[in-house]
Amino acid sequence: MKTILICEDDFALRELIRAAVGSAYRVVEASDGNDAVELVREFEPDLVILDLMLPGRSGAEVLAAMRADPKTAATPVVVVTAWTHIDEDMLAAGASRFVRKPFDPDELRNTVEELLPEQ
């Protein structure tokens, strides 16, 4: 079973994201950027869903830490954000895809399925 790490500080949004991705994945959750970095190292998830506005370390810092580690450098990262002006910078930093808040759960699920095809 593939593992998804959800990095979102808002509990209700974490629950919505968990419901959107469905039960086909093992889901690990982080509510701040420091926990996110630790969980990435511990679980080496197959995909990360990352908010940019996190306490501790920002989502951009989490992404940078992932890309600097050879074990997670290629891990797909879906940035879920309400920001609209960061696309090019975050793509250059290594984000795989963007989903805008508020998001359509079907859009998020489809994005995850595109990045994590069944084996």
Percent of the chain residues topping a pLDDT of 70: 89
What are the DSSP calls for 47-84, one per residue? Answer: EEEEES--SSS-HHHHHHHHHHSTTTTT--EEEEES-S
Q: What does the pLDDT read at residue 102?
A: 87
Check residue 82 and give its pLDDT: 77
Higher pLDDT, 70 or 89: 70
The answer to the question of residue 72 being in a domain is yes
Nearest CA to 103 out of 93, 112, 90 is that of 112
In a domain, 115, yes or no: no
The CATH number of residue 84's host domain is: 3.40.50.2300
Evaluate whether residue 46 is within a structural domain: yes
Q: Report how many domains make up the chain.
A: 1
> Residues for the chain: how many in total?
119
Domain membership of residue 116 (yes or no) is no
The answer to whether position 118 is within a domain reads: no
Average of per-residue pLDDT across 66-86: 87
Domain housing 82: 3-103
Which of helix, strand or coil describes residue 27?
Answer: strand
Is residue 82 a part of any domain in this protein? yes
Those residues with Cβ within 8 angstroms of residue 98's Cβ, 6 or more apart along the chain or in another chain: 78, 79, 80, 81, 87, 90
Domain assignment present for 37: yes
Residue 80, pLDDT > 60, answer yes
How far, rounded to the nearest angstrom, does the alpha carbon of residue 40 sit from its chain's CA centroid? Answer: 10
